Amino acid sequence: MRLQEKVAIITGAANGIGLKAAEIFAREGAKVAMADFNKEQGEERASELREQGYEVRFFQVNVSDRQSVDSMIEQVIDQYGDIEILINNAGITRDAMLAKLTAEDFQTVLDVNLTGVFHCTQAVLPSMIAKGKGRIINTSSVSGVYGNVGQTNYAATKAGVVGMTKTWAKELGRKGITVNAVAPGFIETGMTAKVPEKILNQMKQMVPLARLGKPEDIANAYLFLASDEANYINGTVLHVDGGIMM
């Protein structure tokens, strides 16, 4: 198994991509800390995975609040020991055209998608440094690389994630810690399930593979970057988008 006995934190793990990543990481032998704000859903999903024989625990966290993040990290270390893998997967959207985007919605998305990544990464560093190695994987987006109409706040955060990823890769490499990002394209999640079929078909037509991605497509990219197979990959942004931005 590719992650045997490694301790991994996955934020935003109560549903969607994060949940699929938790399942795949646990299947590959990791001890998985499923971190999410949604306690009821997170505990239910973690219980289901434990029933399948996987080593997973749920930890409630508000990634935009540093005290909440610090508490979560302490609990994970108490439960499992030093942390080797951090997947900064948690994210939200509050889409609107620039003229109608409220300052509150702009800031809320920044607090979760950008400041939350900073909080979780900085909080986990002492554990990784003590371990002498680590994998930090941040979730960006094609919107953060190329922009997207109606996503000023979201695109700004995902572009910021790319900048932080490359900066941290330079800072932390000598400590045995690699930092990379994954940039998903259009993925089938709870969010896309609410999109009208006409719009979904338009989205599919934009993709050379003529379909949306699945959560496991992103989760498998996380798995590769977290594994020993990616030992010499540092500071990269891996696009998993069906070729939409070629």
Q: Which of 80, 154, 222, 232 is catalytic?
A: 154
Residue 211, CA distances (Å) to 19, 32, 244 in order: 21, 30, 10
Our answer to whether residue 154 is catalytic in this structure is yes
Instruction: List Cβ neighbours of 67 (8 Å cut-off, separation of 6 or more).
Output: none
Give the whole-angstrom CA distance, residue 143 versus residue 131.
Answer: 34
Residue 64, CA distances (Å) to 19, 67, 84 in order: 20, 9, 22
Give the whole-angstrom CA distance, residue 32 versus residue 21.
Answer: 10
State the CB neighbour count (10 A cutoff) for residue 159.
Answer: 18
Give the whole-angstrom CA distance, residue 30 versus residue 238.
Answer: 22
Give the whole-angstrom CA distance, residue 124 versus residue 165.
Answer: 15
Q: Which residues are catalytic?
A: 154
